[in-house]
Structure 1
Amino acid sequence: MSTTMKATNTTLAGERADLHQALANARHFLRFTATNLTDQQAAARTTVSELSVGGLIKHVSAVELQWQQFMVRGKAAMDWGDVDFYNMPPQALEAFAAEFAMQPGETLEGLLEKYGKIAQETDSLLASIELDTVHELPQAPWFVDTHWSVRRTLLHIIAETTQHAGHADIIRESLDGQKSMG
């Protein structure tokens, strides 16, 4: 099997091909959980959490886009100002919660299309960006580190996508018994 692959008209090899393939696999399993779902099913909560398959796709799209911008612009792409994450204003909490749920007028098809476009942009970026570039992270209680390389950021996108693909698989199995694997 070849270790090279095509991504946005650029041949990737070695580490870039491995990163791309890991991300492509994670994206596949997330998208696969939505196969043949209606908008109503994609928006349905099947566990005690607020999560739905469509909401997870929407969230992963937003997260990948934000990290994509971080790889290019660094900390400035995540300018949260002086937000107190432990005492967020209600409108900020509502906006954050809305990122995890399909809103009126949103469709699964539209969410998947947007996710595909974001994925293409990340793939294009992966083909050319310097992996060793390091950016300072913004202050947030969930960051243990103070700086991430572009490489580390890509690994985080892969981990985030994989984690939420697992969440989506549980939700889908609870919805209609369909499993992504097994």
Structure 2
Amino acid sequence: MNDADAKKTLHGYLRSARGALVWKLDGLGEYDIRRPLTPTGTNLLGLIKHLAIVEAGYFGDTFGRPFPEHLPWWDDDADPNADSFATEDETRAEIVDCYQRVWAHADATIDALDLDAPGRVPWWTSGEVTLHQILVHVVAETNRHAGHADILREQLDGAVGMNAKNSNMPERDAQWWETYRARVELAAKAAEPDKP
């Protein structure tokens, strides 16, 4: 595989994961996209807000191509985890639109630079990176958070998959899934029989 093909493949995975994350909001109300569904506060809209910062930094400042908008969640005096939840004043549209503007900026960086283009991430041990390293890192981080979003969305209403047309799960009815889940539970209990 040549560099152009490798970059196209990585970029394709990034675009796919971005789309999956935004789709996770479809059909849900404001409370459900914002509410914390884990003890550490993980929520759907917060994942998107966080990834906007990730891409703005890694595809912006790292390569001397700063994202042109000020993102206050990244300021030194911002509240802890300010990039991981939406305040009551921030709308879904504002956060998703920001993420999509960051995509455009990141895509321009990816398109303009070769995979071996040098960059600098000051908080990494060596600091010196290439576009290839950053693409792999951001694809991995975006897919990691897309996995979080998969679980959160399934908890909310049972929706799973990459988008409305591709659940990437076996097509089975509710009874089949209930039986399957019970089978998984039995296997778990059998592995540790003293567990109540």
Q: Does 1:179 align with 2:176?
A: no
Change (3 A) 1:150 1:66: same
8 Å CA contact 1:137, 1:147 repeated in 2:
yes
CA distance in 2, matches of 1:47, 1:174: 11
Structure having the higher Rg: 2
- Please name the residue that 1:62 is paired with: 53
- Please name the residue that 2:101 is paired with: 117
- Please name the residue that 1:150 is paired with: 131
CA distance in 2, matches of 1:49, 1:174: 16
In structure 2, list runs of 5 or more residues that go unmatched.
68-74, 162-166, 170-196
- Please name the residue that 1:134 is paired with: 118
- Please name the residue that 2:27 is paired with: 36
CA distance in 1, matches of 2:51, 2:25: 14
Change (3 A) 1:95 1:71: same
Amino acid at match of 1:31: V
Change (3 A) 1:176 1:66: same
Question: Could you state the TM-score of these two structures normalised by the residue count of structure 2?
Answer: 0.69
Change (3 A) 1:38 1:21: same
- Please name the residue that 1:46 is paired with: 37
Cα RMSD over matched residues? 2.6
CA distance in 1, matches of 2:21, 2:131: 23
8 Å CA contact 1:53, 1:171 repeated in 2:
yes
TM-superposed CA distance for 1:49, in Å, is 2.4
- SS of the equivalent of 1:135 reads strand
- Please name the residue that 2:177 is paired with: none
CA distance in 1, matches of 2:28, 2:93: 10
Change (3 A) 1:65 1:103: same
CA distance in 2, matches of 1:20, 1:68: 12
CA distance in 2, matches of 1:39, 1:159: 28
CA distance in 2, matches of 1:68, 1:132: 14
CA distance in 1, matches of 2:140, 2:108: 19
- Please name the residue that 1:26 is paired with: 17
- Please name the residue that 1:96 is paired with: 80
- Please name the residue that 2:143 is paired with: 162
8 Å CA contact 2:62, 2:121 repeated in 1:
no
CA distance in 2, matches of 1:95, 1:40: 21
- Please name the residue that 1:15 is paired with: 6
8 Å CA contact 1:43, 1:54 repeated in 2:
yes
Change (3 A) 1:157 1:38: same
TM-superposed CA distance for 1:96, in Å, is 3.4
Aligned residue pairs: how many? Answer: 155
